[in-house]
Structure 1
Amino acid sequence: MADQAFVTLATHDNYARGAMVLGKSLRNHNTSKKLVALIGPQVSEPCQSVLRKIYDEVRPVDVLDSGDTAHLAMMKRPDLGVTLTKLHCWTLTHYSKCVFMDADTLVLSNIDELFDREELSAAPDPGWPDCFNSGVFVFCPSMETYGKLLQYCTEHGSFDGGDQGVLNGFFSNWATADISKHLPFIYNLSSIAIYTYLPAFKQFGSSAKVVHFLGKTKPWSYTFDITAKRITGSVPEASTHSTFLLDWWTLYSSAVVPMLHEHYGEQPFHSGCVESRCCDTVTFESVQDEGHSSHAQVSSQPELSSVERKEKWEQGQADYMGMDSFDNIKRKLDSFLK
C-alpha cells in the first residue's frame, strides 16, 4: 500500500551507511512498501544523495528546529536529543502505518507481513524480555501520539537514557495487554544475544528475518577485504555474528560503495573496504545450519593466559568461535565425565 512505509533514522554518516544497507536489503527482498529515511543535520551531502537513490523519501529532522513542543521538551531534557529525533517518526502522518527499523538492522527476507500488526508491536529485548526492543516496531503516525510522547519525555525522561526507555515507559502495558503485539524474536534477532542460548539459535536461527547489530561495535566499525571476504577488527564481537557481518559487508561493498564513490567524486572518503594483503588470519564457520553456512575470517588474536581468559569470560567476552566454542566446551565436559 502506498500509505505504508518502512522508516529509519540516520544521525550521522556512519548510520547513514547502515541505512543504505538496510534500504538495499529491503529492496532486494521485494518489499511493496515505501522507504523513508529521517536524517540529522550531520549527514553529509554525498550520503544524502545516495540515500535519495535508495529511499522514496529522505526527510531532514532537527529537534531544535522542529516546533515549539519539541523545542520545549529538548530544553527540559537535553540528554534525550537523539531520542527526541527518533520520535519524529510519529509525525509522518501521510502514512497510515509504518515499521520503524534502526539503521543497524539488516533484512534477511521479505517482512511486509509486519504491517498486519497493530501499534505498538515489537520483539522482546533479550536483556529484559518484559521490555520490547525498540530497534524494530510497528506504529501508526499521529501528531496526537507525538505530542504525548514529547510530554512523557519532558515529565519522565527515559529509564535507560534512550528511546527504548521512553517507548517502554509510554507503552507500558506491552508486556501484559495483548500477546499479538509481541513480535517473534526472528524479526529482531540481536546478534550479540546468539550465544546466550546457542541451542535455540542452532534450532531457529535459520528462520531469522531481521538481524540487529546491537552493542557499541557496529558493522561499519570493521574493515572488509573484498577479495578474500575477510572481516578484520580488534574488537571481540567480530566472532559472535560472523555470518551476519559477512552478509552486511557483502551487500555494502557490492551495492552501496559504488554509489558512494559516484557521489563523493574526487573527495576522499574511507569506505572500509580493502584489497587482499598478507596477514595472519583464522577462518571460522558459522554455527548456523547448512542453509546459511557462510565463511568469514577475522584477525588472529594472541593466545591468552588462563587469568586473561577468566577476565574475558567475566566481561562477557569469551572466545565463542575459538577455544571457548560450544563444541570445545562440550568435548571437555564429555572427557571429564568419562
Structure 2
Amino acid sequence: MVLGMSLRNHKTSKKLVILVTQVSEPYLSVLRRIYDEVRVVDTLDSGDTAHLAMMKRPELGVTLTKLHCWTLTHYSKCVFMDADTMVLSNIDELFDREELSAAPDPGWPDCFNSGVFVYRPSLKTYGKLLQYCTEHGSFDGGDQGILNGFFSSWATADISKHLPFIYNLSSIAIYTYLPAFKQYGSNAKVVHFLGKTKPWSYTYDPKAKQIRGSVHEATAHPTFLQDWWTLYSSAVMPMLQKQQGDKPFQPFFGCMEGEGISSHEQAPEPQLSSQERKEKWEQGQADYMGMDSFDNIKRKLDTFLK
C-alpha cells in the first residue's frame, strides 16, 4: 500500500499491478483503490532450508512467488518492485531500459539485487525460469539466487543494464559508506528496506510523529523510515479506517499509538553481547535508533573524556 501510494504521489504515468497471495479484506479493497490491477497468484517456495539457514533468512523461500511477474503478458515491459521499497521521485524513465536491468547488490556487487528490475513479461521466459529452478535450484535459496543464475551475464555483458544505485538504495548500505551517502544520497529515487527489520516492525506515534522502540537490526536510515511511516499514517491509514467503518481497526502490520488505534506493548529486546554488537556494526546493522544512537554514543564518549 505504501509503495503504491509513493508511486501515485510521484505522478507515475504507468499502470500499477500488484501480485498477492492470501490477502483479506479490508486490505484487498484498499489495494484495488491504489493499484490498477490486483492479481491473485499461487505461492512458490524454494524449500531450500540449507541455503536459507546460511543467510539466517528462512522466510525468503517464498520470494520465488515473484517469478509470476513474467506471466503479465498483457504488458510489453514492466518494472518489478519488492513490497519493502518506497519511491522518492518519479522513476518512469526506467521503462527506457531493457531486460534484465537491475542495480548491484551491496553485499556482492557482481550480483544484482532483485528488489527492483526491468523485465519483459513472457510465458516462455517464465517456463525457462521454472525449469532452471528445478534443474539448478538457487544458490541463496531465494529469488535473487535464481535470477542471478538465470541472467548470469548481467555482471559482464552490457553496462546499460546496470541501474544506478539510486534506483535501489539499500538502507543497509548507507552506514557502510556514509561519505558516499552524504554525497549522493539526496539523488536517491528508490529506497529498499533490506534485512529482517522492516518499517512495519516498529511502533509509530502519529501525534508526536515519532517512531517508538528500538530494534537491534535498525537497517533503515531514520529519515527514510520516518518518511515511510508518514506516508502510511497520512495516506494509507485513512483509507483502511474508512474501509473498516465504525469497527475498531487493528493494523495488519506495524503498530500505531493514538486515537482509534490499538496501542502495542513491545517485548523487551534481549541484550547483545559485546561481540554480537561488534558483528552488527561490521555488518552495517548497528541499532542507530536505540543503544547505538548518536546521543548514547556521545554520552559514552563524554564519560571517557571526563
TM range (shorter): 0.7 to 0.9
Q: Is the 1:195–1:240 Cα contact (8 Å) retained in structure 2?
A: no
Give yes or no for the alignment of 1:218 onto 2:198.
yes
In 1, Cα distance between the equivalents of 2:193 and 2:280?
19
Matched, 1:318 2:283: no
- Give the SS at the match of 1:124: strand
Q: Give a deviation string over 1:10-55, Cα, whole Å, max 9, x none.
A: xxxxxxxxxx100000010000000000110x21121111000000
Asked if structure 2 preserves the Cα contact closer than 8 Å seen for 1:188 and 1:211, the reply is yes
- The number of aligned residues is 276
- 1:192 deviation in Å? 1.4
- CA deviation digits over 1:118-170, x for unaligned, max 9? 00000000000000000000000000000000000111111111100100000
Q: In the alignment, which of 25, 48, 60 is matched to residue 45 of structure 1? A: 25
For residue 270 of structure 1, report the CA deviation from its aligned partner.
Answer: 2.4
AA partner of residue 7 (structure 2): L
Distance 2:94 2:147 in 1: 19
Q: Show structure 1 runs of 5+ residues with no match.
A: 1-19, 65-73, 277-298
Query: Displacement, 1:325?
Result: 5.0
The aligned counterpart of 2:54 is: none
**1:122 touches 1:133 (CA, 8 Å); kept in 2?**
yes
Aligned twin of 1:30: 11
Task: Give yes or no for contact 2:197–2:219 (8 Å, CA) kept in 1.
Answer: no
- CA–CA separation in structure 1 for the residues paired with 2:292 and 2:214: 17
Q: Name stretches of at least 5 consecutive residues in structure 2 with no aligned partner.
A: 49-59, 260-265
Are 1:109 and 2:89 an aligned pair? yes
Would the aligned equivalents of 2:193 and 2:220 in 1 still touch at CA under 8 Å? no
User: How many Å separate the matches in 2 of 1:319 and 1:46?
Assistant: 34
Q: CA deviation at 1:171?
A: 0.2
Q: Provide the secondary structure at the position in 1 that maps to 2:156.
A: helix
Where 2:131 maps in the other structure, the secondary structure is helix
Give the match for residue 274 of structure 1. Answer: 257
CA gap 1:324/1:31 in 2 versus in 1, 3 angstroms? closer
Alignment of 1:59-78 (within 5 A): 59-63=39-43, 78=47
- Does the CA contact (< 8 Å) of 1:211 and 1:244 recur in 2? yes
**Amino acid paired to 2:15:** K
The answer to which structure has the higher helix fraction is 1
On the 8 A contact 2:47/2:141 being kept in 1, the answer is no
- In the alignment, which residue of structure 2 is the partner of 1:294? none
Secondary structure of 2:155's counterpart equals helix
Whether contact under 8 Å (2:199, 2:220) holds in the other structure is no
Q: CA deviation at 1:265?
A: 3.0
2:262 maps to none
**Which structure shows the higher strand fraction?**
1
Report if the CA contact (8 A) 1:319-1:325 is conserved.
Answer: no
Q: Is structure 2 residue 75 aligned with structure 1 residue 92? A: no
Please say if 1:203 is aligned against 2:183: yes
In structure 2, the CA distance between the partners of 1:164 and 1:45, relative to structure 1 (3 Å rule), is same
Specify the SS of the correspondent of 1:201. Answer: helix
Give the SS at the match of 1:315. Answer: helix
Runs of 4+ in 1 over 6 A off after TM superposition: none
After superposition, the CA RMSD in angstroms is 2.9
1:56-89 C-alpha deviation (Å, 9 max, x unpaired): 000000148xxxxxxxxx7xx5558623421010
Task: Report how far residue 241 of structure 1 moved.
Answer: 1.1
Task: Give the partner amino acid of 2:178.
Answer: L
- CA separation of 1:232/1:32 partners in 2, compared to 1, >3 Å: closer, same or farther? same
Structure 1 residue 232: Cα displacement:
1.2
> Structure 2: how far apart are the matches of 1:168 and 1:193?
20
Distance 1:263 1:116, change over 3 A: same
TM-score by length of 2: 0.82
Cα distance 1:240–1:83, how it changes in 2: closer, same or farther (>3 A)?
Answer: closer
Secondary structure of residue in 1 paired with 2:172: helix
CA contact (8 A) 2:64 2:142 kept: no
Identity among equivalent positions (%) equals 75
Question: Are the aligned partners of 1:125 and 1:131 in contact in 2 as well (CA < 8 Å)?
Answer: yes
Q: d(CA) in 1 for partners of 2:223 and 2:205?
A: 15
Q: 1:168 to 1:51 in 2, by over 3 A?
A: same
| Alignment correspondent of 2:155 | 175
Aligned to 2:137: 157
